[in-house]
Amino acid sequence: MTAVRCIDLCKTYRQGDQDIKALDHVSLEINAGSFLCLSAPSGGGKTTLLNAIGGLDAPDSGEVWIAGRRIDHLKKSELAQLRLMQIGFVFQAYNLIPVLTARENVEFVMQVQGLSAAERVRRSSAILDEVGLSGLENRRPAEMSGGQQQRVAVARAIVSHPALVLADEPTANLDSRSSDELLRVFVELNRKYDTTFVIATHDQRVMGYARRVIKMLDGRIVDDIEQHAD
C-alpha cells in the first residue's frame, strides 16, 4: 500500500534576484511502513520535499498524495486537520512548547484532537515509557537534555498513531550517543506500529538505519537505494 505519492513536484524560491529550484520535477512513491531517508547536502531540496509531503508548504506544480488522498489543493484548515490526524512531525530544533511539561507536550496533539483526559494519560504514559523517559514526565524542556527533548518530540509524533512520521534533521543537534538512542527508538516504533518514517538528513549514521535512501541534489532525485538496515 502506498503511503506517499509525489508526482512531478516543482518548487522554486526567489533568493535575491535568483530563482532557486528547490524541487525539480520530483516524483516519488513511498510504501506504508517504510523507513526512508531523504539525503541531500544543504539546499538540496530534502526539507522542501518533506514540507510538501507534510502539507506545510505547497508545491508550485505537481501532486502530493497521502494515503490515497490528494493534498496539494487542500485548504489551510483541511491541511491542519490532515496533519493533526495523520502525520507526526519531528523537527531539528524548537520541537517542544517550552511552557508545557514532557507529558503535556506529548498530550498536546491528543488534546487538540479532543481525546479524553484518561485516554491521554494512558497513551502518554505508555509512549514516554517506550522512549525511555519514565520519571521525566513532569519536566519542562529547559530541564531536559537535547536528546531527551527529541525523544519527547518523537513520543508526541507517534502517540496518536499517525500513518506517517516526518522528521527533519532530527539528530542534527545531538551527540552520537543520543543520536543512536533516538534512531533505535525510531526503528522500534517503525517495527512495532508499522508507521511510515521519512527522515530528511545528511547524517550517514541515520542513513545506516534506513531501509531505503533517496539521494537528492539541486532539487532532483539522483539516486534511490534499497538497503538492509543496520
Phi–psi pair at 173, nearest 5 degrees:
-105, 15
Rounded to a whole number of angstroms, the minimum distance from the CB of residue 77 to other proteins is 6
| Class of residue 69 by CB neighbours under 10 A (exposed 0-12, middle 13-18, buried 19+) | exposed
DSSP state letter for 37: E
CB of 79 to other proteins, least distance (A): 9
Please report where in the chains the cell 498513531 appears, as a residue: 161
Minimum CB distance to other proteins smaller for 103 or for 212: 103
CB of 157 to other proteins, least distance (A): 9
Minimum CB distance to other proteins smaller for 76 or for 228: 76
Nearest distance in Å: CB 101, other proteins? 10
Measuring CA to CA, which residue among 42, 57, 56 is closest to residue 11? 57
Per the CB < 8 A criterion, the answer to whether 158 and 81 are in contact is no
Q: How far apart are CA 198 and CA 201, in angstroms?
A: 10
Which is closer to other proteins, CB of 48 or CB of 212? Answer: 48
- The least distance separating other proteins from the CB of residue 26, rounded to whole angstroms, comes to 17
Task: Provide the 3-class DSSP secondary structure of residue 130.
Answer: helix
Question: How many C-beta atoms surround the C-beta of residue 226 within 10 A?
Answer: 9
Q: Which is nearer to other proteins, 166 or 216 (CB)?
A: 166
Instruction: Cell 516543482: give the residue.
Output: 10
Positions that interact with other proteins (CB under 8 A): 51, 54, 56-57, 76-77, 80-85, 89, 91, 94-100, 104, 108-109, 111-115, 156
CA distances from 190 to 26, 69, 84, 133, 143 (A): 25, 22, 19, 18, 28
Choice between 7 and 82, CB closer to other proteins = 82
Nearer to other proteins, 95 or 212 (CB): 95
Minimum separation from the CB atom of position 37 to other proteins (A): 20
